[in-house]
Each structure stands twice: as structure tokens, then as C-alpha cells.
């Protein structure tokens, strides 16, 4: 176990080659090598190409070997938007939504996010680590090698920090890499019910400084939404976070066209996420500003909302990423194949575009397209091997996992073929 690995004879080596987000038509270009091989040394990719040429002159005895005959090999998937550290569940709320209650109505009654806040405040760090580990194990089995995780179920100094510390510990102990995002502005807590401006000031003066000082998060996010945080409140918080050196993301235009996409473009955010109701102007502005549109089909599906306009976005030159939004409320699913199926069947994306969206563009949505997201020399050896010969099987095998092996920095960390 030294991170030295050769994968050879791949029916398709889907490299997704590139070091920055692919926009518009570029998203269709997967740079596939047939009968491909990849060489990983000490966890880093050192060679890719046709099997014969990639392996010539190599002392194969120094390497572990995977024969990928009849199989497709892709970059590890990157789930660039999740809320995977939380206490409690909201199965009852799901049944209320089936009955016709809306997500926002449940939230206004003190349910929804606020009920998970209660449960997360009560949970010990160990409780959260234990649940978090199980969730990461499941993600790994779906081929996820990097995940973004948000706080936002604390809404107070100590619990927000507890969530971020849990992710830091999980990052150190689990093969899946975790990118930590501070989402203190996820809902208005009961104590600030009539004073959301005061809550934003509290986050700026009491919480953000410690998060920045202790390097607990790289990114700051906000739920910029009608009835939650306004464009002005979101801007105030995000500008301060940017000043402290954090990168930015927004939950934007998820339930109403509020102008979150426009704000993401104005602030130069890494990504604007959800965008179900984003305006034409907002979409054109994020395309121009190079903000990744991170789309979350599972949430639209689960909330029975219209899907984000992926086709229109790509045709207008956007870089689109896909993610699960895994969380206990609006989308309790970490299923990668479900997202591929929804994006292709209901959002007008081609299989090629969905692969780019889950790899290179997802890396860009996390500010990491220089180190992960494609099978390029110099990047981390994070790879998935499918049990089928083509990436086309991912959306085609609807909602079922096609991943045989997940490889993290040259080590096999999930292998269905040995079970």
C-alpha cells in the first residue's frame, strides 16, 4: 500500500482532461482513450495513454495492478454540494410534503431546517462523527472521492464550529476528502426571528472570525432566498467572508427568482447552486463571470419543483456541475446514479455533459480543478472503475450503482468485486 497503481486495458479511459471548468460546448469533450492505461505513483498520476505506450519501460513489479478489460475508468466523482453532518432525521416531514405541505411552509412553522438544528445542537461530536462516517462510506461506494460538506445546522457559534470540527476529523480519518463550507446563514434561528439583520451581524462579529482564525472552512455559503436571507443580507455576509479570505458560494434562486445568481456573478463566487428559478439575466451573468452553476436534480425531484434549466445554461455558455445536495430535508439521497438519470432524462443534459459536471466542473465549483476532477498527469490518483465498458451505462442503469472500484490516491478503497 504505497499509492503505486497501474490500471490497464480499460475499454474506455475517460480522462475528462482539463485544469479549469469546461463551459458550454466544451462540456461534451471527455477526451476518451480506448484500451487506455493510467499510472499512479505515490498517489499522483504520472502517465496516461494507450496501454502499450503508457506501460512501456515501466518496472511493473513496483505497482499494484488493476486489469480493467471490458470496463470504463473515470475520475473519482466529486459531490460539490452536501449537508452530510446533521443530527436526527425528518422522515415525518417527507410524509407531510406528500400530503401537500410545502417545504417553505414547514420551515415557517419551525420545522424543516430548524428541527435539524435542534437535533444537531443536542448531538455529541461522537454521534456526528459516527453518522458522518457511515454516510461517507456510502458515498465512497458510489465512486465519490471528494465531497463538500456544509455547516448550517447550528446557527450558533459552538454548534457551527462543532459541525466543522467533525468534518475536519472525518477528513483526517476517512478516504473521502472533505471540503468544508461555513453555512451559518442557513436559516434565521428562533432567537433572531424578528431580527435577521442582527443575526447576520452576529455571524460577522462572533462566528466568522473564529472560523477564519482556526481555518475551519475554505468557503462561505448563504441561503439567499425569499423569506430567509435577502440579497442585501447575503451580500453583507459574503463580502465580509471574502475579506477574511474565504471563497464564496450561494444557495441561489432555489424557490423564487430573488437575484442570487446575479449576486454570485457580482461577487465572483465559485458557484451559484440550485438555480431552479434563476432569471435569463442571472444565467447570462454567471456564464460571463465564470461562476459554476451547480445543479441539484435530486432536490427538484424530491420537492416536486421544476428542474433547473441546464440545457439553457449550457447553451448560454455556463459551466454546469451536478451534486446531490444530500441533506435530511429537501433531498435525503446520496445516490450519484439517481442524479445522472434525472439530469439526462429531465434536464436535457447529454451523458457526456453529466460526466464533466460530476468531475472537472465539480472540482472547479470547489476551487480545486488544478488538483482533482480529471485523469491528468500531476493530479491526484482518484479514480472509479465501472463494471461496464462505457460511461454511457451510468445514466442508462437508472438509479443503480455501476461502480465496481473506487480508488483514492492510488489505493483501492472500495471494491465490489471482492465482496
Which residues contact ligand NIG (rule: CB under 6 A)? 83, 112-113, 116, 223, 251, 254, 299, 325, 327-330
Total binding residues toward Fe ion, as defined by CB under 5 A: 1
8 Å CB contact between 73 and 12: yes
Pairwise CA distance, residues 305 & 307, whole Å: 6
Query: Which residue's Cβ lies closest to ligand NIG?
Result: 329
- What residue 282 binds from Fe ion, ligand NIG, none (CB within 5 to 8 A, per partner kind)? none
> Got the DSSP string for 330-380?
S-----HHHHHHHHHHHS---HHHHHHHHTHHHHHHTT-TTTSSS--TTSB
CA torsion, ordered 205, 207, 213, 218, to nearest 10 deg = -120
CB of 114 to ligand NIG, least distance (A): 9
Q: Quick one: 116 or 335, whose CB is closer to ligand NIG?
A: 116
Q: Quick one: 328 or 337, whose CB is closer to ligand NIG?
A: 328
Phi-psi region of 373 (alpha: psi -120 to 50; beta: other; left: phi over 0): left
CB of 111 to ligand NIG, least distance (A): 10
Q: Which stretch binds Fe ion (CB under 5 A): 186-194, 260-268, 323-331, 395-403?
A: 323-331
Pairwise CA distance, residues 131 & 22, whole Å: 35
Q: Quick one: 93 or 325, whose CB is closer to Fe ion?
A: 325
Indicate the DSSP class of residue 324. -
Q: Quick one: 30 or 117, whose CB is closer to ligand NIG?
A: 117
- What residue 259 binds from ligand NIG, Fe ion, none (CB within 5 to 8 A, per partner kind)? none
Helix, strand, coil percent content, the chain, rounded in steps of 5: 40, 20, 35
Smallest CA-to-CA distance from 289 within 325, 264, 313 is with: 264
CA torsion, ordered 117, 131, 360, 403, to nearest 10 deg = -140
CB of 357 to ligand NIG, least distance (A): 17
CB of 260 to Fe ion, least distance (A): 12
8 Å CB contact between 89 and 136: no
Pairwise CA distance, residues 234 & 253, whole Å: 13
Residue 225 as a binder of Fe ion (CB under 5 A): the answer is: no
CB of 64 to Fe ion, least distance (A): 37
8 Å CB contact between 165 and 123: no
CB of 75 to ligand NIG, least distance (A): 25
CB of 140 to ligand NIG, least distance (A): 22
Q: Quick one: 103 or 142, whose CB is closer to ligand NIG?
A: 103
Residue 325 as a binder of Fe ion (CB under 5 A): the answer is: yes
Smallest CA-to-CA distance from 178 within 326, 313, 50 is with: 326
Cell 479570505 belongs to residue: 245
CB of 332 to Fe ion, least distance (A): 12
Smallest CA-to-CA distance from 16 within 362, 397, 416 is with: 362
Residue 254 as a binder of Fe ion (CB under 5 A): the answer is: no
- What residue 401 binds from Fe ion, ligand NIG, none (CB within 5 to 8 A, per partner kind)? none
- What residue 334 binds from Fe ion, ligand NIG, none (CB within 5 to 8 A, per partner kind)? none
Interface mask (CB under 5 A) for Fe ion, residues 272-311, using x and -?
----------------------------------------
Give me the residues that bind Fe ion (CB under 5 A), please: 325
Amino acid at each position: 500500500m504505497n499509492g503505486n497503481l497501474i490500471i490497464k486495458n480499460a475499454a474506455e479511459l475517460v480522462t475528462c482532461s482539463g485544469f479549469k471548468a469546461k463551459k458550454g460546448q466544451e462540456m461534451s469533450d471527455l477526451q476518451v482513450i480506448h484500451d487506455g492505461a493510467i499510472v499512479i505513483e505515490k498517489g499522483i498520476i504520472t502517465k496516461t495513454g494507450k496501454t502499450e505506450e503508457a506501460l512501456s519501460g515501466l518496472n511493473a513489479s513496483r505497482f499494484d495492478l488493476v486489469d480493467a478489460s471490458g470496463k470504463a475508468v473515470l475520475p473519482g466523482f466529486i459531490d460539490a454540494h452536501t449537508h452530510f453532518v446533521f443530527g436526527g432525521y425528518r422522515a415525518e416531514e417527507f410524509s407531510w410534503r406528500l400530503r401537500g405541505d410545502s417545504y417553505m411552509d414547514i420551515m415557517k412553522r419551525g420545522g424543516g431546517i430548524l428541527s435539524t438544528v435542534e437535533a444537531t445542537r443536542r448531538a455529541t461530536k461522537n454521534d456526528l462523527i459516527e453518522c458522518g462516517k457511515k454516510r461517507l462510506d456510502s458515498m465512497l461506494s458510489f465512486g465519490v472521492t471528494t465531497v463538500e460538506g456544509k455547516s448550517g445546522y447550528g446557527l450558533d457559534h459552538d454548534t457551527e464550529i462543532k459541525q466543522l470540527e467533525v468534518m475536519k476529523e472525518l477528513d483526517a480519518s476517512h478516504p473521502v476528502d472533505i471540503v468544508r463550507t461555513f453555512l451559518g446563514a442557513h436559516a434565521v434561528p428562533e432567537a433572531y426571528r424578528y431580527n435577521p439583520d442582527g443575526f447576520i451581524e452576529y455571524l460577522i462579529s462572533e462566528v466568522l472570525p473564529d472560523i477564519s482564525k482556526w481555518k475551519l472552512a475554505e468557503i462561505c455559503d448563504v441561503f439567499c432566498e425569499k423569506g430567509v436571507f435577502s440579497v442585501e443580507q447575503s451580500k453583507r455576509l459574503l463580502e465580509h467572508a471574502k475579506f477574511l479570505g474565504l471563497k464564496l458560494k450561494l444557495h441561489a434562486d432555489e424557490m423564487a427568482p430573488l437575484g442570487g445568481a446575479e449576486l454570485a456573478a457580482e461577487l465572483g463566487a465559485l458557484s451559484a447552486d440550485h438555480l431552479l428559478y434563476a432569471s435569463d439575466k442571472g444565467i447570462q451573468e454567471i456564464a460571463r463571470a465564470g461562476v459554476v452553476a451547480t445543479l441539484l436534480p435530486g432536490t427538484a425531484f424530491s420537492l416536486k419543483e421544476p428542474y433547473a434549466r441546464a440545457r439553457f445554461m449550457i447553451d448560454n455558455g455556463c459551466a454546469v456541475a451536478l451534486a446531490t445536495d444530500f441533506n435530511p430535508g429537501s433531498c435525503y439521497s446520496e445516490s450519484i446514479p439517481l442524479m445522472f438519470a434525472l439530469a439526462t432524462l429531465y434536464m436535457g443534459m447529454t451523458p457526456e455533459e453529466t460526466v464533466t459536471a460530476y468531475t472537472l466542473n465539480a472540482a472547479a465549483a470547489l476551487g480545486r480543478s488544478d488538483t482533482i476532477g480529471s485523469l491528468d498527469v500531476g493530479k491526484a490518483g482518484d479514480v472509479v472503475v465501472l463494471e461496464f465498458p462505457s460511461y454511457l451505462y451510468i445514466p442508462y442503469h437508472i438509479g443503480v450503482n455501476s461502480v465496481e472500484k473506487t480508488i483514492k490516491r492510488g489505493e483501492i478503497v472500495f471494491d465490489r468485486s471482492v465482496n
